Amino acid sequence: MNAKRHVLVIDDDAVVGRSFDRVLSDKGYEVDTARNGEEGLKDMESQDYDVIFTDIKMPGMDGLEVAERIKARCPWTPVVVITGYGTEENEARAHVLGVNGFVRKPLTPEMIESVTLKALEKPAVELEAANEPEAPEVAAKEQLIGMKKASRVARNAGLFLAAPFIALGYVIALPAVGFYMFAKLGYEAYQKKRGSK
Amino acid sequence: MTTTTMNYSHQHGKPEKVYLHPVPVRLWHWLNALGFTLLILTGLQIRYVDLFSLMSFETAVKLHNWVGFGVIANWFLWFIYYLFSERVTNYHPDLDPVSFFQRYFRQAGYYSWGYFQGDQRPHKVQPNDKFNPMQKLTYQFVMFISAPVTFLTGLMMWDVRRFQGLIEMVGGLRVVNTVHVLMFILFVGFIITHIYMGFLGKKPSSHYKEMVTGYEEEH
């Protein structure tokens, strides 16, 4: 149990990987970094990781796809999604994919440490339950899973039923937003042209 | 707990094709295509009885009514399937308008310019997030607003006496008829655009094949 825990950080921003390395290396973790999803998935072939962090917005494969692929290969590996802007939709998708956590930038050393510890707790609980668990623990776990599932179904249905109202709002706003976008583009082009003279 | 729709061939190390369109979705889609084609044809016959002679007026009305009920039933197939499916996330609204509109116009830029330059698609298609922002908003509007409004106005005109109170409440039969025709125009526009966009895959046939096999063609 004293073996080093291996952490993989997938983020196109090298600063994020370095931050994890700086914070976690001191605490006895081995931190690997990857600059994109493909690189991270390749790293997984040669190393078993105890927890994987992935940025949501990356060139090529996005973080949720990376998470989906990781879960397809190793469903037991905790995956935490790092995001600059958390949206309800991304969180809902992340839950559907079985992602274990969500952490928002900017990251502080305390956040990095606590989210790592939290992510590592989950598989430990699951493993305990799998290895000759006591009946009440199994029942409690099943109940918890059932509740989570019910809440996810309710949330999914709620968002589905809210879709027409939000869509109608967006459709009404669309011409105005489109006009603003075009005006902004024109203004930026004009400023650029003026600056180059 | 985990949805793993992306499968991998361990033998070859290559990702297998993504299963995008399950059977109920494909069934609903093609029944809808058939239904709407018949509704448009019979609707045109009913409205422009002097211009078209595809069938008798009486047959057109009967067929329009029966197919109309079929399309309504088909809408419920779509609604119930998605309501209880994990793929419901495809129709989930984007709750961050700034991000949504940015991605919406990035997609519009791709369709109007980037596609013809061979740029990469800005939206990565996944089973639980298969629509780009333009598709998502269009489908949400069509399925949640246009279709029910068309069904309701159609029902009101199908049995004017039964729905007399409702017709009066919304401003009379002329209003109901106008809304129904406006929705018809919108649907015709949607279908033409939909068919055109269907050709914008890697090959012109790619998206059409996907809607038959259910599996994403390579991009």
Residues of A in contact with B83 (CB under 8 A): 157, 160
**B13 part of a folded domain:** no
Instruction: Tell which wins on pLDDT, B76 or A136.
Output: B76
Determine how β-strand A79-83 pairs with β-strand A101-104: parallel
Residues of B in contact with A166 (CB under 8 A): 93-95, 140
**B7 part of a folded domain:** no
Query: Residues with Cβ < 8 Å from B43, sequence gap 6 or more?
Result: B64, B184
Q: What is the pLDDT of residues B91-150, one digit of tens each?
A: 999 888 998 999 999 999 999 999 889 888 888 787 888 999 999 999 999 999 999 999
- Quote the tokens at residue A60: 């090529």
pLDDT attached to residue A130: 38
User: Would you say residue B193 has pLDDT above 90?
Assistant: yes
**B143 part of a folded domain:** yes
Q: Do A148 and B100 touch (CB under 8 A)?
A: no
Give the minimum alpha-carbon distance from A88 to chain B in angstroms, rounded to a whole number.
Answer: 6
A and B: number of Cβ contacts within 8 A: 109
**B102 part of a folded domain:** no
**B117 part of a folded domain:** no
Q: Which of A81, A160, A161, A181 is the best substitution to test chain B (most B C-beta atoms within 10 A)?
A: A160
User: Where residue B48 sits, what CATH number does that domain have?
Assistant: 1.20.950.20
Give pLDDT < 70 ranges for chain A. 1-3, 84-89, 122-138, 141, 197
Residues of B in contact with A167 (CB under 8 A): 93, 137, 140-141, 144-145
DSSP H helices in chain B: 23-47, 57-83, 97-109, 115-117, 133-141, 147-158, 164-169, 173-198, 206-213
pTM: predicted TM-score of the whole model, two decimal places: 0.64
Residue B197's domain comprises: 23-87+129-213
pLDDT attached to residue A136: 63
Residues of B in contact with A156 (CB under 8 A): 86, 88-89, 92
CATH of domain A5-131: 3.40.50.2300
Chain A within 8 Å of B94 (Cβ-Cβ)?
Answer: yes
Chain A within 8 Å of B5 (Cβ-Cβ)?
Answer: yes
Chain B within 8 Å of A23 (Cβ-Cβ)?
Answer: no
Residues of B in contact with A170 (CB under 8 A): 94, 97, 100-101, 137
Mean per-residue pLDDT over chain A, rounded: 81
pLDDT attached to residue B5: 34
Q: Do A163 and B91 touch (CB under 8 A)?
A: yes
Chain B within 8 Å of A72 (Cβ-Cβ)?
Answer: yes
Separation between Cα atoms, residue B219 and residue B216, nearest integer Å: 8
Q: What is the pLDDT of residues B64-75, one digit of tens each?
A: 999 999 999 999
**B150 part of a folded domain:** yes
Interface of B with A in 43-82 (CB under 8 A): 82
At B121, is the secondary structure helix, strand, or coil? coil
Q: Do A167 and B99 touch (CB under 8 A)?
A: no
B4: alpha, beta or left? (left if phi > 0; alpha if psi -120 to 50): beta
Separation between Cα atoms, residue A79 and residue B73, nearest integer Å: 41
Other beta carbons within 10 Å of B170: 14
Structurally, how many domains does chain B consist of? 1
> Is A116:A51 a contact under the CB 8 Å cutoff?
yes
Residues of A in contact with B82 (CB under 8 A): 160
Q: Do B83 and A157 touch (CB under 8 A)?
A: yes
Q: What is the pLDDT of residues B5-62, one digit of tens each?
A: 333 333 344 445 788 899 999 999 999 999 999 999 999 999 888 888 889 999 999 9
Residues of B in contact with A162 (CB under 8 A): 93
Chain B within 8 Å of A74 (Cβ-Cβ)?
Answer: no
pLDDT attached to residue B219: 58
